[in-house]
Structure 1
Amino acid sequence: MAHTELEDFLILRDLDEPISEAELDAAAEQSGETLRTLRAEGVGITWVDSEVMTNDEGQVTGTFCHYRAEDEDAVREHAERAGLPATRISRRGSPLDGE
């Protein structure tokens, strides 16, 4: 992996149609395989966590994902290779203090 400082990125993945939990699990597996491939190629990228969005019926409608990456291009490359939407990619700012 390059010796580049990794930055925090938040990715909104809106889905055109709701998917099942099994389809979400398959997408997560594909994402992990793609991350391993990119890192083997020297790209600085790692997954931190994801939050799942659902509709009133409990169907998965998208995710918010947190990645650490060398740049936005690495995040876009991951999404394209994994076949995942990247509706919006933003640098992560400082968390809000909710108290």
Structure 2
Amino acid sequence: MPKYMIEREIPGIGSQSAEELRAAAQTSNDVLSTMAPRAQWQQSFITGDKVYCVYIAENERAVYEHAELSGFPADRVSKVEAILDPASAQT
């Protein structure tokens, strides 16, 4: 399945407590359990006012469906075309 990067604008997310973030993760997991195997959450990166999530999903529509059902915005969804890391420099 394709991999997607989701950008979510959530003002103040970076200052939420560990308990609040855990509750958000549980909400996401609950929705994903109803969508399996069409979408899987790999990880998220939290900044001051944004969350960048990495998902594996059958298509972009499944990513937006998760956003709608979970109540989390999906302001930008981009299909990952390639992954580049330090090991990519080695032959």
* TM-score for the superposition, normalised by structure 1: 0.76
- Aligned partner of 1:23 in structure 2 is 20
Extract unaligned runs of 5+ from structure 2: none
Q: How many residues align?
A: 84
Query: 1:95 and 1:38 mapped to 2: Cα distance?
Result: 26
* TM-score for the superposition, normalised by structure 2: 0.82
- Aligned partner of 1:67 in structure 2 is 55
Q: Superposed, which structure 2 residues align to 1:1-99 within 5 Å? A: 6-15=1-10, 17-19=11-13, 20-21=16-17, 22-39=19-36, 44-54=38-48, 61-98=49-86
2:30 corresponds to which letter in structure 1?
A: E
Query: 2:35 and 2:83 mapped to 1: Cα distance?
Result: 28
Runs of 4+ in structure 1 displaced over 4 angstroms? Answer: none
Instruction: Indicate the SS of the match to 1:64.
Output: strand
Bigger share in strand: 1
**Range that drifts further, 89-98 or 77-86:** 89-98
Q: Identity percentage over the alignment?
A: 37
Bigger share in helix: 2
Instruction: Indicate the SS of the match to 1:93.
Output: coil
